[in-house]
Amino acid sequence: MPKDTGIGASPKRREDVRFLTGKGRYTDDINLAGQAHVVFLRSDVAHGRITSIDTGAAEAMEGVIRVFTGEDFAEVGGIPCGWQITSIDGSVMQEPKHPVLAHGKVRHVGDPIAAVVAETRDQAKDACEAIEVEIESLPAVIDMKAAVKPGAPKVHDELAGNLCYDWGLVQENKEAVDRAISAAAHVTTLELVNNRLIANPMEPRVAVGDYTSHDDHSTLYTTSQNPHVIRLLMGAFVLGIPEHKLRVVAPDVGGGFGTKIFHYAEEAFCTFAAKALERPVKWTSSRSEAFMSDAHGRDHVTKIELALDAEHNFTALRTETYANMGAYLSTFAPSVPTWLHGTLMAGNYKTPLIYVNVKAVFTNTVPVDAYRGAGRPEATFQLERVVDKAARELGVDPVELRRKNFITEFPYATPVAVEYDTGDYHATMDKLLELIDRDGFPARRAGSEARGKLRGLGINSYIEACGIAPSHLVGQLGARAGLYESATVRVNATGGLVVMTGSHSHGQGHETSFPQVVADMIGIPEDQVEIVHGDTDKVPMGMGTYGSRSLAVGGSAIYRATEKVIAKAKKIAAHIMEASDEDIELKDGKFTVAGTDKSVAWGDVTLAAYVPHNYPLEDIEPGLEETAFYDPNNFTYPSGAYACEVEVDPETGKVEVLAFAAADDFGNVVNPMIVEGQVHGGLAQGIGQALLESCAYDADGQLLSASYMDYAMPRAHDFPMFAVDSSCRTPCTHNPLGVKGCGEAGAIGSPPSVVNAVIDALASGGHDVGHIDMPLTPARVWHAMHGGTPNQRAAQPAAHSEETTHDRSVAGAATNV
């Protein structure tokens, strides 16, 4: 029987009613008395020198309060980067200054040049158009491999070149890997692109700055996944405001997917301008602006080589990746292609020797940072594609080749610096095969062929590292922050609880799932537990929500704080019942003395904590409130097996996803309904990457995919119903809930399934194409079958590499309008 309450139940989400009735309070719904509006003038060229800015005409326009330029920020810090990578030669990465408003040069289309603050948004927009800016255009660097060639134009004049870092993992293993590959019975090589994406949460970013002079206090309302981190980065590194004078509030946030982790210039601007003008200043991004100012994702160009012995055991793996950083280093950007990517290259396999090389490159494009999965989708895609290609080259079953090489003994220390605690990769593969009726596939394929279609089935495994992260470890790896989480559990006199968590919910349903944990531990109804998040004045500290860490790290902090509360409550109960602390048991909201019929209710104990008439005052203080900081001692390692079944129309190259199945091992599951929803959303983003989405730049650095007319967002009719299962459970061994995290799995595991399926479909029609780069638009698929290259407006993504890619197109209009 399904549970109807507590851990393992699927209660309806309590946050839903406000969202369903229009009562959600998103940042753009916040309007402060006396508020002014800012509109940014953004660069329309990718690279250039600002020779003059004349704001006179704009400043004279109706409603304009002030026009700011880069000069106004001369005394202010740059937008900081939170992670420092060390190159193979021991040098630290090149780290350019990222000014709030461009100063001297513009470095990507969308780089803000000036900001108009006016009484209304329309007045600010009008005045923006009256600013006269002269920019001397410079040659732009867009292609990563061209950017690191000698003599290439430099994105930052003060740097030695466009190479940010050249990183190796594990450098000491490189020669052994090279030898093993030279000696292998078979080597499969694959060159591929992980296409550049734009996260596109449906709520565009918004910032409202406020300042009160009577107490010299600044407040920022912002669309953030981690308000405390913004408080620290903006306060300490950009504006010089101490944390006790700065409040950051992230109210209801309409999706994040990574791109709302980072500290952005617009946040600093609004906070700065509100103080300068002593008026609230609001910025609301348009969608076009979001395309050219939200950090992008992915954009890797990779060569991967897999060595196998005669028995098809994987003997070595070598990868070389160019990773695009864009024009400036966003908050977590340097960590994504390195520690979130290189460390995952073992995947589910016991490959003994692995070497990963990553070259991070500056280009004249929007900064690139974490997007759902962040590094792990890039690792999974190349690994699961090369394994599939190896199976095809060797003429063996792709599932059996994977099974032969699965890790089966845990804990397992990989050759790329991490230790998997638990997993059962055969179990999720078994479950997957059950979900997809693989045995029935030949008959389904025959049915498709009878209708003139090609049918393919793609299967793959995945593993990811979540629950980010042990602070001592990430500190060694270059993180400039700890990655613990905090929680304060406040019990009120009448027995209700307020849980203040540093995790932030922007769709994940924490207001529902976190109370399930706390109520389960105490044995009280969930509606007795309130979750408070997203406000630095209400929650003592927090590192926020990303990397599928909220339950594994934030939930563990809540668990630990609740344990402390219960321990103290037991002392109070023992005193009331005149028993020993150790004999007190708590169940169903009632304290009992073991072996007796004595009991006292939860509410009586909590009342005693605040009305301490009969209370052990000599031993403990009154009150019932506890805080815990939980710092994990390892990552968590969700894993699973995914399958995609497609039909390809050989006449047009159009791919239709007929079925998609996901068998995941997330460890213990608190709310199965929410977990399934997370997987559905991840799958849509992963399938979207594989078939539809592409951020495209032309050779001059113009962003071609800068609206929903050009960037193919997946729609309802692009998907079938999904078959998802999370019944295979190997609980995490090192956090108290045994949970692993589920937020990114769908986006990590699904792109290779789709591509494997299309390659399989084409092969059944006699087209042995090896690989097609994502997104698999009809044009690309058709040309892969029939030769030639797609002739679509000559658009190139930033990741374009002449050695590895086909011609590019703006994905989408053809399939989605």
Partner 1 sequence: MTKVTMIVNGKSRSAEAEGRTLLVDWLREGLRLTGTHVGCDTTQCGACIVHLNGEPVKACSVLAQEVDGAEVTTIEGIAGADGTLSAVQQAFQDYHGLQCGFCTPGMVMAATSLLRENPRPSEAEVRHYLEGNICRCTGYHNIVKAVMAASGQDVPAVAAE
Interacting residues with partner 1 (CB under 8 A): 2, 8, 10, 12-13, 15-26, 28-29, 31, 122, 200-204, 252-255, 257, 284, 286-288, 506-509, 672-677, 680-685, 707-709, 713-717, 719, 721-722, 725-727, 746
Q: What angle do CA 192, 295, 91 make, to 5 degrees?
A: 70
Contacts of 179 (CB under 8 A, 6+ apart): none
- Preceding peptide of 301 cis, ω within 30°: no
| For partner 1, the closer CB: 611 or 817 | 817
Least separation, in Å, of the C-beta of 636 and partner 1? 21
Question: Which among 281, 288, 145 has a CA at the least distance from the CA of 218?
Answer: 281
CB of 720 to partner 1, least distance (A): 9
What minimum distance in Å lies between the beta carbon of 276 and partner 1? Answer: 25
Please state, as a whole number, how many other Cβ atoms lie within 10 Å of the Cβ of residue 40.
Answer: 22
Torsion sign across C-alpha atoms 404, 409, 415, 416: positive
Q: Residue 333: what residue type?
A: A
Between 359 and 504, name the residue whose CB sits nearer to partner 1: 504
Per the CB < 8 A criterion, the answer to whether 319 and 190 are in contact is no
Q: Are 329 and 420 in contact (CB under 8 A)?
A: no
CB of 728 to partner 1, least distance (A): 12
Minimum CB distance to partner 1 smaller for 77 or for 507: 507
Nearer to partner 1 by Cβ, of 72 and 744: the residue is 744
Question: Residues 84, 163: contact at Cβ < 8 Å?
Answer: no
Token pair of 699 as six digits: 């050779």
What region, left, alpha or beta, does residue 627 occupy, with left being phi > 0 and alpha being psi -120 to 50 degrees? beta
| Least Cβ distance, residue 507 to partner 1 (angstroms) | 3
The total of other beta-carbon atoms located within 10 Å of residue 404's CB is 16
- Shortest Cβ 731–partner 1 spacing (Å): 16
Closest by alpha carbon to 552, among 419, 732, 385?
732
Least Å distance, CB 290 to partner 1, is 9
- When the beta carbons of 443 and 721 are compared against partner 1, the nearer one is 721
Alpha-carbon dihedral 524, 527, 528, 533, rounded to 10 degrees: 130
Nearer to partner 1, 53 or 684 (CB): 684
Helix (H, G, I), strand (E, B) or coil at 160: coil
Of residues 508 and 606, the one with the C-beta less far from partner 1: 508
The 132-137 sheet, strands edge to edge = 105-106, 48-54, 132-137
Q: 703: burial class by Cβ within 10 Å (0-12, 13-18, 19+)?
A: buried
In the complex, minimum distance from the CB of residue 714 to partner 1, in angstroms, rounded to a whole number:
8
**Whether the Cβ atoms of residue 688 and residue 715 lie closer than 8 Å to each other:** no
Which of residues 613 and 717 has its CB atom nearest to partner 1 in the complex?
A: 717
Q: How far is CA 698 from CA 113, 535, 701, 796, 807, in A?
A: 22, 41, 5, 5, 11
Name the residue nearer to partner 1 (CB basis): 184 or 657: 657
Rounded CA separation 564/711 (Å): 50
Q: How long is the chain?
A: 817
Q: Which of 358, 437, 486, 456 is nearest to 655 (CA)?
A: 456
> Least separation, in Å, of the C-beta of 660 and partner 1?
9
CB nearer to partner 1: pick between 284 and 348: 284
**Residue in 627, 300, 340 with CA at minimum distance from that of residue 463:** 340
696: left (phi over 0), alpha (psi -120 to 50) or beta: beta
> Is 11 or 99 the residue whose CB approaches partner 1 more closely?
11
CB of 218 to partner 1, least distance (A): 24
Shortest Cβ distance from residue 132 to partner 1 (Å)? 24
Of 305 and 710, nearer to partner 1 (C-beta) is 710
Cβ proximity to partner 1: between 390 and 745 the closer is: 745
In whole angstroms, the minimum distance from the beta carbon of 740 to partner 1 comes to 17
Q: What is the dihedral of CA 546, 548, 553, 556, to 10 degrees?
A: 140
140-156 per-residue burial string, b: 16 or more CB within 10 A, e: under 16: bbbbbbbbbeeebebbb
Q: Provide, rounded to whole angstroms, the least separation between the CB of residue 2 and partner 1.
A: 5
Nearest to 368 by CA among 138, 113, 707, 697: 697
